[in-house]
Structures are given as C-alpha cells and as structure tokens.
A and B are shown apart, each in its own frame.
Chain A
Amino acid sequence: MVYRHWLDFEKSVEEIEKKIEELKLRQSEGGGRTAEEIDKLEKKSKKLLRDIYSRLTPSQITQVARHPDRPYTADYITAVFDEFMELHGDRCFKDDPAIIGGLARLDGVPVVVIGQQKGRNAKEKVLRNFGMPHPEGYRKALRLMDLAERFGRPIFTFIDTPGAYPGIGAEERGQSEAIAANLMAMSALGVPVISTVVGEGGSGGALAIGVADRMLMLEYSTYSVISPEGCAAILWKDGSKADLAAKSLRIDAQSLLKLGIIDRIVKEPVGGAHRDAPSTFKSLKTALAAQMKDLASMDTDALVENRYKKFRNIGVYAEDRRF
C-alpha cells in the first residue's frame, strides 16, 4: 500500500514502495519475472520498516503521534463503541468542535465517551481548531462527566491535542478556570474513568480530561508538560533543539510507563496505527473492555480513594527531616 504521507525517517521504505508500485504497474502490462522481484522487495520493505520502528527516537515518535493519517478520536469511538450518540454544548457559550463526546455502548454496557478531535482536511482542521479546545470544550466535557456520574456510567476519554488553545477568547472565558475545574471534579468522580492518549497529550489541555483511574497510551503517542518545540524555545532558546527537548522530557509511552504515570501501553502495528487501523481498534477495544471489567467490581469509595492516592503519590523529592 502506498501512503500519501511519509515521514522523513521512513524515506528508505518509501523508495522501495515506489519501486514496488512501478513493478506492479509493469506486471499488469505483462512483465516477466517481476512477481518474484516484487515479493523480494516487499519482504525487504517490511523488514526495513520493522527495523526503523524498533528504535524510534522520542522526536520520531512525536512525528508518528502527529501523523496526518493517524486515526483520530472519532475513528476510535466509531470502531470501538456501538450506538455513539454525540451530545453538544456547554450550556454557557457554545459547542466546541475540538472536543466531542456523548453516549455510547462498549460490549453492550452504556458508557460516556469524551475526546479531543482533530480535523483531517484543511476545512475540518480549522473547524476542529487543530484539536485545541477552548474553555467551552472543557466545560462540555465536565457536563458530560457529571451526567455520567449521576447515571452511574463509566467514562472513557481520548486524548489527542497539542494543548488548550492560547487565544484571546480562551483567556477571556477562563481557560485556566475551565481546566482547573475539570481536574478538581474528575478527582472526585464516583464512576470509573479510563483515559487513553491516542495521539498527542499536550500539557494541561490533555490532563483536563485525563484525571483517570487507568491511563493508557497507544505505543506511538506522546504525553508531555510542554511540546518539544515549546520547551526548546524556552529552555534552549532555540526552537530547532526540539529533538533534544523531546528526549529530555520523556514524552514517550515507554518512559511514562517506567515513571508510573501510565498503566498500560497498547501496541500499534509496525509503522504506526494508520498502517493498520482495524487492528489498532481491536487492540484498544480489548484493552478498554478489560479495564472496564476490572474497575466495575470496585465500590465507589474505594474507586475515589484509589484515584486520589494515585495522583497524591506522584512526585519525586527528597526530605530532610531535621527541619
């Protein structure tokens, strides 16, 4: 299969794939022993891709997490859940298309789903504001979480945002307050919350729907306090040092698992979720159903207490008891 978008570090695979395409074209015109050659090249391409993906650097992972062909929240919701019914609006200002949410079923169980939504083409990107929510998006999410709690429905959130939108309207309408209110409310929700980073986990704008009992990450997604570019600009005073920043920040799933920030990594196909979306959907569905089952047996008090402790215990410091 030929992809429209190749990442710079995939160039060698792209070249082989192009050759395969040419051969296939010639074959259809009646070329001789091209079948054998195609087979050989396909094997080579597969191996090369596997090699590349077995040792991705953090900044390469960032590129995969932002890949334009990568499945977005709505794709996951459609594939993993049944009967999705989108609900709109924060009841204060407007409906923010950068966050979608609503009612759905997972294996027949009624649930609430919420996530940041990016746009696929130019027009949609603008509509979805590149997945960067305004305060009303977070307030819509909070409204849906409140609904879930009152009706005893588990909550699934999907994180995929460069961050909360930095704009005049966003500040005027209380971006900070909206995020803070979600953090506080989510910490005390009496229903299970399961979050998955499916692409970019951009800072407070991601965490605002991510105070969860279980935190999952797709293998090539990222989660960070600041984007590598932003970090490089501030700390290195040089935006081109994003590679270094990505490494230092430990934004990849493996690092975050080791740090105890996330609970599980959901494997992606070699080359990223977009190369075999159906298999990614299937893996995620299995993982989410298992987490839901696991949390269902817990009573509400224990659930809330465990969630509190989980976040309460994050942080590394030393203590001199003489003071």
Chain B
Amino acid sequence: MIWFKKDLFSRNHDDSKSVKVPVGLWVKCENCGEIIYKKEAERSLDVCPKCNYHFRISAQSRINIIADEGSFKEEDAGVEPVDALDFKDLKKYRERIKASQKETGLKDAIISGDALINGQKVMIAAFEFSFMGGSMGSVVGEKITRMIERAIEQRRGVVIFSSSGGARMQESILSLMQMAKTSAALARLRQAGLPYISVLTDPTMGGVTASFAMLGDVIIAEPRALIGFAGPRVIAETIRQTLPEGFQRAEYLLEHGMIDMIVERKMLKDTISRILAMLTERREAE
C-alpha cells in the first residue's frame, strides 16, 4: 500500500489543506504568506521557517516523522466505512466516502498500527484531517479501540495524534457512541498500567477532544493548534461576544492547565520517547 513507501514526504503537500501550491516547487504559508521552497518545507517537517506555523500534515507524514524508519506496521487497514443510516445531506454519505477515499488513498480518517519510537514498542495512530475533516465515525472508533486492546495484550504504550473536527454527523448516534467506546478502552489501558500519550494537533475539536484526546496520561499539543469542545463560531454566536485573542489555541490551553506541554514538531519524537521511557523503564529493586 501507498503508505509503506519510504519517501512519502512528497504526498503531504498535495493533500494538506493548509498548504496552497502556487507552482509545483513552492508552497505558501497560510499564516504569514511566506513563499517557501518545497524542499525547505520538507526539511523543516512542514513548519514555516519564517513564522513557525505548523502546517497540517497527512497521517502518513506524521507517522514517518515519529516512527523509527521502517518500523511501522499498519493494522486494521481493511476496516472501511459503511453508510449504515443511508444518510444524505446535500450529498450522499456514500459519495462523500468515495471522494475522500480517492483524494487520500485511505479507507477512513485514521491510520493505526504498531511501531518503534527510538526503539520503544508502541501502538500509534494518526488522523488524516483531509478525510472528511478527520471526523470520527464507526471506523475511527473501532480502529482506536482495537489498537488500545492490542496494546493491552502486547503490553505496549499508546500514542495518538489527533486532528479532527469531531464526531461524524453522517453516522449520527453511532459516531457519538464511539466517544464512549474509545474512552472505555482507555479505562482498561489505565487499569493495565500502560501509558497513553495524546498529541493534539491543529485542529482537535468536538467529540474527539471530549473523549480519548483529553484522556492522555500526558497531553502534548503542537504550537498554535486549535483545541476545543465547541467551535469558535458556535461560541461567538452563543455568547454574542468577540472571543479573546488566542482563544482555544494550544498556548491558551496550557495557560489554563488543560495540557502538559507544547512541543515543536521537530522535538516531538524525542519528547514522546523520553516520556515513555520515564514512565515504563524497569528499575532493579533497590
């Protein structure tokens, strides 16, 4: 499958919503407008060299950045979405699925599997925001739950990179229930004494934030990532006020005690591996 290829950094420029490609060799930073040589953006892990804006990246790029080279083994790649409710809004859900599958080369909005992070065995999952806004339906819920159950069986820690608009409305109540399902699995992981690191990337909202994403033993966010329960527009409409500067950004959450740390993309792998080591390293009895 496509995501087993080694050289994958080239993919993320085509499917990332944050990156406009004026010509093939250049990308434009959505935040500061800087035109960046594509090769340079790749070298900096899709972080703007001028303003440090962290572009949204694909699930596969994320795994490439974090997992030891060649160590990622995907699981549950055959789990596919089904239009169980025969849902149709302006478009049929079926058609939305097909279009997203074609665009991303993925079956749904998440990739999961096992991998090594600086030699440590983990279960890892990353969201694909360009697949229906990274929304969580039955497939995302099932794959996360299976991954956690597998982690318990194999006694591994879990790392999840979230990037999601929330629950997938086209699966209605079934998607709501994935919040309970994934959180229940995490309760078992906790009982098993295994660590879970939740990494919140831009954006992490709604039913994803209000379930597994905020349940990490350690919660990390990327700089400036938008993180919240309700969307900023809904809040502004409800309270009829302008929202404070930086509201729902990673820095704001850190200030209010909702996350442990903000870590730049280039430091993520090292940070995660050190946390895992400090939580799980076995020591001889003194």
Cα(A135)–Cα(B19), bound, Å? 36
Q: Is A271 in contact with chain B by the CB < 8 A criterion? A: no
- A235, B169: Cβ atoms under 8 Å? yes
Contact of B80 among A245, A259, A320 (CB under 8 A): A320
Q: Is A250 in contact with chain B by the CB < 8 A criterion? A: yes
What 0/1 pattern do residues 309 to 323 of A give for CB contact below 8 A with B? 001101111111111
Stretch at the interface among B32-40, B61-69, B205-213: B205-213
Among B197-237, those with CB < 8 Å from A are 206-207, 209-215, 228-231, 234-235
Q: Which residues of A contact B187 (CB under 8 A)?
A: 184-185, 187-188
Residue of B nearest to A307 (CB): B184
- A174, B214: Cβ atoms under 8 Å? yes
Q: Is A175 in contact with chain B by the CB < 8 A criterion? A: yes
What 0/1 pattern do residues 77 to 118 of B give for CB contact below 8 A with A? 111111011011110000000000000000000000000000
Cα(A315)–Cα(B138), bound, Å? 5
- B184, A188: Cβ atoms under 8 Å? yes
- A248, B214: Cβ atoms under 8 Å? no
Q: Which residues of B contact A311 (CB under 8 A)?
A: 177, 180-181, 184
Residue of B nearest to A179 (CB): B210
- A211, B142: Cβ atoms under 8 Å? no
- B89, A322: Cβ atoms under 8 Å? no
Q: Is B12 in contact with chain A by the CB < 8 A criterion? A: no
Contact of A176 among B78, B190, B210 (CB under 8 A): B210
Cα(A319)–Cα(B230), bound, Å? 32
Q: Which residues of A contact B228 (CB under 8 A)?
A: 171, 176
- A261, B183: Cβ atoms under 8 Å? no
Cα(A175)–Cα(B88), bound, Å? 31
Residue of A nearest to B175 (CB): A225
Contacts A184-B215, A316-B84; is A168 near B235 (CB within 8 Å)? yes
Cα(A174)–Cα(B177), bound, Å? 21
- B229, A223: Cβ atoms under 8 Å? no
- A183, B183: Cβ atoms under 8 Å? yes
Cα(A315)–Cα(B190), bound, Å? 23
Residue of A nearest to B165 (CB): A234
Residue from B78, B172, B206, B209 whose CB has the most chain A CB atoms within 10 Å: B172
What 0/1 pattern do residues 285 to 323 of A give for CB contact below 8 A with B? 000000000000000000000011001101111111111
- B174, A184: Cβ atoms under 8 Å? no
How far apart are B133's CB and chain A's nearest CB, in angstroms?
10
Q: Is B186 in contact with chain A by the CB < 8 A criterion? A: yes
Stretch at the interface among B23-31, B46-54, B238-246, B261-269: B238-246
Contact of A170 among B214, B215, B229, B243 (CB under 8 A): B229
Among A118-155, those with CB < 8 Å from B are none
Q: Is B125 in contact with chain A by the CB < 8 A criterion? A: no
Q: Is B147 in contact with chain A by the CB < 8 A criterion? A: no
How far apart are B176's CB and chain A's nearest CB, in angstroms?
4
What 0/1 pattern do residues 162 to 184 of A give for CB contact below 8 A with B? 00111110111111110111011
Q: Which residues of A contact B239 (CB under 8 A)?
A: 167-168
- A317, B139: Cβ atoms under 8 Å? yes
- A177, B258: Cβ atoms under 8 Å? yes
Q: Is A16 in contact with chain B by the CB < 8 A criterion? A: no
Q: Is B8 in contact with chain A by the CB < 8 A criterion? A: no
Contact of A314 among B76, B88, B181, B191 (CB under 8 A): B181
Residue of B nearest to A164 (CB): B229
- A167, B214: Cβ atoms under 8 Å? no
- A171, B172: Cβ atoms under 8 Å? no
Q: Which residues of B contact A224 (CB under 8 A)?
A: 172-173, 176
- A248, B179: Cβ atoms under 8 Å? no
Q: Is A48 in contact with chain B by the CB < 8 A criterion? A: no
Q: Is B178 in contact with chain A by the CB < 8 A criterion? A: yes
- B181, A312: Cβ atoms under 8 Å? yes
Q: Which residues of B contact A250 (CB under 8 A)?
A: 85, 172-173
Contacts A174-B258, A180-B211, A236-B89; is A317 near B138 (CB within 8 Å)? yes
Cα(A221)–Cα(B3), bound, Å? 45
Cα(A211)–Cα(B85), bound, Å? 22
- A315, B141: Cβ atoms under 8 Å? yes
Q: Which residues of A contact B164 (CB under 8 A)?
A: none
Cα(A53)–Cα(B173), bound, Å? 24
Q: Which residues of A contact B82 (CB under 8 A)?
A: 316-318
Q: Which residues of B contact A261 (CB under 8 A)?
A: 173-174, 177
Q: Is B151 in contact with chain A by the CB < 8 A criterion? A: no
Contact of A320 among B78, B210, B244 (CB under 8 A): B78
Task: Please name 27 pairs of A and B residues whose Cβ atoms are closer than 8 Å in the assembled complex, sorted by A.
Answer: A164-B230, A170-B229, A170-B230, A179-B210, A179-B211, A180-B213, A181-B215, A183-B184, A183-B211, A184-B186, A187-B184, A207-B180, A225-B167, A231-B89, A234-B169, A248-B172, A256-B173, A259-B174, A312-B184, A314-B138, A314-B177, A315-B178, A316-B84, A316-B174, A317-B79, A318-B81, A319-B80
Q: A176-B213, A187-B184 are in contact. List 5 more A-B contacts (CB 8 A).
A: A168-B235, A168-B239, A184-B183, A236-B90, A317-B138
- Give 3 closest A-B pairs by Cβ, nearest first: A166-B230, A187-B184, A323-B78
Q: Which residues of A contact B (CB under 8 A)?
A: 164-168, 170-177, 179-181, 183-188, 203-204, 207-208, 211, 223-226, 230-231, 234-237, 244-245, 248-251, 256, 259, 261, 307-308, 311-312, 314-323
